[in-house]
Every structure is written in C-alpha cells, then in structure tokens.
Amino acid sequence: MANRAVESFQAKAQEVAKEDFGRARVLINDAAKSRSYLYPIKGIIYFITHRALWKPLLSKLVPTLTLSVGVVAGMFFFTYVPQLAILVLVNGPLALFTTVLLILNESSVIINLISKNFLLQDAILDTFDGTLVSRDAAGIVSEGRQLKSGGDSIQRLGKVLKSPFSRFSPKALVRYLIYLPLNFIPVVGTVIFILLQGRSRGNGVHDRYFQLKKWSASQRSSWLAEHTGPYTAFGTVATLLEMVPVASIFFSFTNTVGAALWAADIEEKDTEMTQGTAPGLREAAKKAE
C-alpha cells in the first residue's frame, strides 16, 4: 500500500514537472523570438545618443543620486552582517555573494519606492512620451497630453491630460516580502527571486502605452497573459540593471526609454509581437467580455 502511494506521488510529481518544464520552454521561446531582453540595452544606447532625453534625468540628478548613495550605504552598513549571518547557514561560502545580491535588490526596491513616488514620477513620464515623439509616434502621445509644434522631443511635450503612473501598491510590497525567503535557497532561490521580480517589473513597463492605446483592464490582462515570456525577459534585465549601486536611477530612465522603443516597434509591427495588436486585440477582448 505504501509503495503504491509513493509510486503515485512520484508519477504525479513527474507529470507536474513535465508540465512546468513545458510552460517554461514556451515562455523562453516567446522571449527569444520577441528579443524583448534587448530593449533595456537598446534603451541605454538610444538614451546616450539622444541628448534631448537627458533633460528629465538631469533635472532630478542631485536628489536622486543623494537618495541612491544614502540607501545603498545605509543598507550595507546596517543589514549586511545580520543577513549574512542568516544566509551563511543555508548558502555556506556563497552567502558572501548572495547577501550582496539580496541587499542590492532590497536597496533597489527602496530607491524605486521613494524616487518613483516622490521624485521621478513626472520625469519618467516625460522620458517615455519624449522617446515616443522622437520615434515619430507623436500621434499616440497626443492621446495622453498636449503637444507643441516646435523644439526637440522633450520641448514638444505639453500639459499632461492623463497620468498612468500609480503609486507603489501595498500588494506589490506584500508580494516582495513573500518572495524574499527564496533567497535562503542556495543560488537557485536567488535566481528565482530575481525572475519573479522581473515578471512583476515587466508587467508595469507599458502602463503608459496601454493608456495611450485606451485599452481596458481586460485588454491589458489579455495582452500581458499572451506575452508573459517577453515581458518577464524585459523585466528581468531591467531589474538586474537597476540593482547596480548608484547607477540604478540612470538605468531607471534608460529602461523607460527601452520600454518606449519597444512600444514604438509594436506600433510599427517591427517585432515578433504583432499578433493581436491594435484593433485585432481590441476586437478579441470585446468578444471575450
């Protein structure tokens, strides 16, 4: 009887593992086809080569750098030894490395929580819209703000008619705290933790784009569910970049540029993520409602 129970459990475990592996393979294939993981890198290059996009960042540079240095230094000073003492019990010598990753991730969350809610909200919005304007997508930007006729891509931005960037939600914080213990699992746990953070990060990168497209909540959910792999890939690369000490604020802006470039390419149907865009997705969502 006991042997049958064990064999049954093993069979079910193998079946679940096979299903999960199949889903993971599909997500990886979707991410690879879309090349979404390249957009954070494209964002860096595009940002550096388009000086007009520097204006929102430069206007907030001093307070955000001060915030970044203070948070990272404070986290390492006050929390490195206590967290190392805990992680060394499960990670052994690797705890020296995994503790650093954990603190950088924690610092990134704190910096983003404070900066994006109190310092950078308008600047990041301007960066996203300005990038779309520079990519000749002024038509879609005009759905969410007034545009001026002259000047560079940032100077053309007028009054904001709709702002999509919501404040840090308690649900996101609770989810982060729930996933935090994964770091107790040597190496693999830290990787899974970062991937989960990447998925969460990726789901929000096109909030502005969805608003400009006037998509409903059901349309957004359908789109994100259909393209989980690409958005997780983008979010994971963006998360890793924003974990870099001090430079995290710079990468917050370049990741915003990358997200806008991705949105512009989707509009032009230059990516593999073309099925279901624009009116096609709207019609599908209407039928589902």
Please provide the DSSP assignment of 210-251 as one string: HHHTT--HHHHHHHHHHTHHHHHHHHHHHHHHHTSTTTHHHH
Contact 251, 242 (CB under 8 A): yes
pLDDT value of residue 2: 53
Task: Tell which wins on pLDDT, 24 or 198.
Answer: 198
pLDDT value of residue 156: 95
pLDDT value of residue 269: 78
pLDDT value of residue 17: 39
pLDDT value of residue 150: 82
pLDDT value of residue 106: 87
Amino acid at 178: I
Average the pLDDT over 69-76 and give the result.
93
pLDDT value of residue 165: 57
- The model's confidence at residue 53, banded by pLDDT at 50, 70 and 90, is very high
- The model's confidence at residue 120, banded by pLDDT at 50, 70 and 90, is confident
pLDDT at position 279 over 50: no
Q: Each residue of 121-179: pLDDT tens digit?
A: 889 999 999 999 999 999 999 999 999 988 899 999 999 987 765 555 666 677 777 88
pLDDT value of residue 20: 40
pLDDT at position 16 over 70: no
pLDDT value of residue 34: 77
pLDDT value of residue 205: 93
Domains in the chain: boundaries:
49-288
pLDDT value of residue 38: 95
pLDDT value of residue 178: 82
Average the pLDDT over 264-271 and give the result.
80
pLDDT at position 18 over 60: no
Structure token pair of residue 55:
């204006």
pLDDT at position 228 over 50: yes
Average the pLDDT over 196-216 and give the result.
91
Average pLDDT over the chain reads 82
pLDDT at position 285 over 60: no
- The model's confidence at residue 117, banded by pLDDT at 50, 70 and 90, is confident
pLDDT at position 108 over 70: yes
Cα gap 184→180, rounded to integer Å: 8
Structure token pair of residue 221:
């959910």
Long-range CB contacts (within 8 A, 24+) of 163-168: 163/121, 163/125, 164/125, 164/207, 164/208, 164/210, 164/211, 165/116, 165/121, 165/124, 165/125, 165/207, 165/208, 166/207, 167/117, 168/112, 168/113, 168/116, 168/117
Average the pLDDT over 65-94 and give the result.
90
